[in-house]
């Protein structure tokens, strides 16, 4: 397994080896119960990331049952100068949720704290423990005829609300409902010294000074452990229509986005871009998937409109699409859930198909929505000039300017060498295009270990200094998730 981490410095107190690990584990067991402290083989799955790219060792993986236990474990770690890795579903795509090598760490996994605490239908809010799976929250919302719109559908059964909050997760639907930051009203957080901050407010207006919850949202576990949250709920849509559109170039895709936005307004709730190469990989690795059109096309769009009114969405979308002209253009539209699901299956399984195919150099970038076609054109051109055989898998949430742009060689052996030798150069080529277009090198996955060093080249010295000041203010001893973000 390759660990592509560059070195970093921790306070010396954190690197010291503890003399009596068995005694330490016994003390942790006293807090959470023997069966909730995992070590050795039982801990290993929690110490390796979803892609199998990063792994480290932990003194133990601890699974607390409530906020007080989280606080007690954190106090214990602080007293012993042991670093902490907060963990939810461990689906991070940037090595954020696993221990780094050569540091004494305890993983605090929140998965046992998976209770829906309360639902306030009148206030359109739900209060949940941080270990609730996203799928559980979505189901609970549905059971009271509401919607919790965070759309990480490929992974909703595995990822957890605490992880979603800590990565400020996005996914499908951001263009309509915003990302996780827009969906949280209040938080409960265990601070790095073990104190519990109860900010579980369910207010839509609260201008009483600094809005502290936002410091923890997207902090990737470097400032504290989220233990509970108040989430916003929305009315459940009554009407849905989905279109799959085939196009010859990305510029037409950008024009289509403009047209749909203009004609369909706020009913637009999904606008996803898929390249032909992505579809080929899905057909190769995922059973029961099939071509949506008779003929192959260079690009595909999945467009979804939803409305809480039983409005004639199909007509509006059909009007928009039929009045559109572009080279190599085709489309299908449906209001039938099963047909739509077949199309969404193609989009949802791209990550899984890539995982089965093997490693690639991954980029989760964003540019202004108006610059997406430029990005694809420039980045493809630069890479193809440098590596004529390169395979580029581009797909993503085009509606919010977020493209997953993954680069590899089609041949397995050549790919291994390509990644080992060219990863830094490829990153630089892609990120320079992103920079020129005013974009970000991490749209929704965060920095974790993967982009911790790279970000220094893409944020100003002042911005980085302010981030370090915040880190020092909350976590002066650098105990929370060392080796990530900063
Ligand atoms: C197939 C696949 C598809 C994906 N699709 C998307 C997508 O569409 N959009 C998107 O945004 N992401 C996506 N992701 C990335 C990932 O699922 C998200 O980042 C998710 O929010 C992580 O949740 P988790 O519970 O697994 O967190 P983890 O992976 O366990 O942790 C992620 C980060 O949050 C921290 N953390 C976790 N829980 C807490 C807590 N309670 N308190 C403080 N810090 C905590 C960890 O330390 C780590 O830094 C995808 C991942 C996969 C594997």
Decide: 480 in ligand 1 pocket, CB within 6 A.
no
Of 398, 420, 436, the last residue of a domain is 436
Decide: 50 in ligand 1 pocket, CB within 6 A.
yes
Q: What is the CA radius of gyration of the chain?
A: 23
Same domain, 181 and 250: no
Q: Is residue 141 part of a domain?
A: yes
CATH of the domain at 398: 3.30.70.2740
Q: Whose CA is nearest to atom 15 of ligand 1?
A: 92
Same domain, 317 and 416: no
In whole angstroms, what is the distance from residue 399 CA to residue 208 CA? 34
Beta carbons of 73 and 64 less than 8 angstroms apart: yes
In whole angstroms, what is the distance from residue 382 CA to residue 384 CA? 6
Same domain, 146 and 250: no
Among the atoms of ligand 1, which is closest to the Cα of residue 165? 21
Q: Is residue 70 part of a domain?
A: no
Q: Is residue 471 part of a domain?
A: no
Question: Three-state DSSP class for 78?
Answer: helix
CATH of the domain at 168: 3.30.465.10
Instruction: Check residue 100 and report its DSSP letter.
Output: P
Beta carbons of 331 and 244 less than 8 angstroms apart: yes
Decide: 404 in ligand 1 pocket, CB within 6 A.
no
Same domain, 200 and 176: yes
Same domain, 193 and 277: no
CA 93 to centroid of ligand 1, rounded, Å: 7
Q: Is residue 48 part of a domain?
A: no
Beta carbons of 357 and 284 less than 8 angstroms apart: yes
Same domain, 408 and 381: yes
Q: Which two tokens stand for residue 105?
A: 């760490």
In whole angstroms, what is the distance from residue 443 CA to residue 446 CA? 7
Decide: 136 in ligand 1 pocket, CB within 6 A.
no
Q: Is residue 8 part of a domain?
A: no
Tell me which residue of 279, 278, 260, 253 sits closest to 376, measured CA to CA. 253
Q: Is residue 49 part of a domain?
A: no
Q: Is the pTM of this model over 0.85?
A: yes
Q: What is the DSSP string of 429-448?
A: HHHHHHHHTT-BSBSSS--T
Distance in Å from the first CA to the final CA of the chain: 24
Reported as half-sphere exposure (CB side, CA atoms, 13 A), residue 387 has a value of 23
Same domain, 133 and 192: yes
Q: Phi then psi for 433, rounded to 5 degrees?
A: -65, -45
Q: What is the DSSP string of 368-415?
A: -GGGHHHHHHHHHHHHHHH-TT-EEEEEEEGGGTEEEEEEE-SSHHHH
Instruction: Check residue 265 and report its DSSP letter.
Output: G
Domains: count for the chain: 3
Q: Is residue 58 part of a domain?
A: no
Q: Which domain holds residue 365?
A: 358-436
CATH of the domain at 329: 3.30.70.2190
Same domain, 175 and 258: no
Same domain, 426 and 391: yes
Q: Whose CA is nearest to atom 27 of ligand 1?
A: 163
Of 302, 321, 352, the last residue of a domain is 352
Same domain, 317 and 408: no
- Count other C-beta atoms under 10 Å from residue 358's C-beta: 12
Of 352, 373, 396, the last residue of a domain is 352
Per-residue pLDDT at 430 = 98
Q: Is residue 101 part of a domain?
A: no
* pLDDT tens-place values along the chain, 486 residues long: 333 333 344 444 444 444 488 889 999 999 999 999 999 999 999 999 998 889 999 999 999 999 999 999 999 999 999 999 999 999 999 999 999 998 999 999 999 999 999 999 999 999 999 999 999 999 999 999 999 999 987 899 999 999 999 999 999 999 999 999 999 999 999 999 999 999 999 999 999 999 999 999 999 999 999 999 999 999 999 999 999 999 999 999 999 999 999 999 999 999 999 999 999 999 999 999 999 999 999 999 999 999 999 878 999 999 999 999 999 999 999 999 999 999 999 999 999 999 899 989 999 999 999 999 999 999 999 999 999 999 999 999 999 999 999 999 999 889 999 999 999 999 999 999 999 999 999 999 999 999 999 999 999 999 999 999 999 999 999 999 999 999
């Amino acid at each position: 397994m390759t660990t592509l981490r560059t070195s970093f410095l921790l306070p010396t107190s954190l690197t010291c080896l503890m003399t009596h690990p068995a005694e330490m584990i016994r003390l942790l067991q006293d807090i959470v119960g023997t069966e909730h402290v995992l070590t050795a083989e039982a801990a290993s799955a929690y110490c390796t990331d979803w892609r199998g790219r990063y792994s480290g060792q932990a003194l133990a993986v601890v699974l607390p049952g409530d906020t007080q236990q989280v606080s007690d474990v954190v106090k214990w770690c602080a007293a012993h100068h042991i670093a902490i890795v907060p963990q939810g579903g461990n689906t991070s795509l940037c090595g954020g949720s696993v221990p780094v090598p050569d540091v004494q760490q305890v993983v605090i996994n929140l998965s046992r704290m998976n209770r829906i605490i309360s639902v306030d239908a009148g206030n359109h809010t739900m209060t949940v423990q941080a270990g609730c799976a996203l799928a559980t929250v979505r189901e609970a919302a549905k059971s009271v005829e509401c919607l919790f719109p965070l759309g990480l559908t490929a992974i909703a059964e595995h990822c957890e609300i605490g992880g979603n909050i800590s990565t400020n997760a996005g996914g499908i639907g951001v263009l309509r409902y915003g990302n996780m930051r827009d969906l949280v009203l209040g938080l409960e957080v265990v601070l790095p010294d073990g104190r519990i901050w109860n900010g579980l407010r369910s207010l839509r207006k609260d201008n009483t000074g600094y809005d502290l919850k936002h410091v923890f949202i997207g902090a990737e576990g470097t400032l504290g452990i989220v233990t509970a949250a108040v989430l916003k709920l929305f009315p459940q849509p009554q009407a849905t229509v989905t279109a799959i559109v085939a196009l010859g170039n990305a510029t037409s895709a950008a024009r289509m986005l403009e047209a749909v936005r203009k004609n369909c307004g706020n009913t637009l709730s999904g606008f996803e871009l898929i390249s032909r190469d992505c579809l080929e990989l899905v057909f190769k690795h995922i059973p029961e998937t099939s071509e949506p059109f008779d003929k192959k096309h260079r690009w595909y769009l999945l467009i979804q409109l939803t409305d809480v009114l039983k409005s004639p969405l199909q007509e509006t979308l059909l009007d928009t699409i039929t009045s559109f002209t572009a080279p190599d253009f085709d489309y299908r539209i449906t209001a039938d859930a099963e047909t739509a699901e077949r199309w969404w299956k193609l989009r949802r399984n791209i990550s899984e198909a890539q995982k089965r195919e093997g490693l690639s150099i991954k980029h989760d970038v964003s540019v202004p929505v108006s610059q997406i076609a430029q990005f694809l054109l420039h980045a493809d051109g630069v890479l193809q000039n440098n590596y004529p055989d390169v395979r580029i898998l581009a797909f993503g949430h085009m509606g919010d300017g977020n493209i997953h742009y993954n680069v590899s060689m089609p041949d397995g052996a050549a790919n291994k060498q390509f990644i080992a030798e060219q990863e830094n150069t490829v990153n630089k080529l892609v990120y320079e295009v992103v920079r020129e277009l005013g974009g970000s090198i991490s749209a929704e996955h965060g920095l974790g270990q993967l982009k911790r060093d790279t970000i220094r080249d893409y944020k100003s010295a002042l911005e980085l200094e302010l981030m370090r000041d915040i880190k020092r203010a909350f976590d002066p001893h650098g105990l929370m998730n060392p080796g990530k973000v900063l």
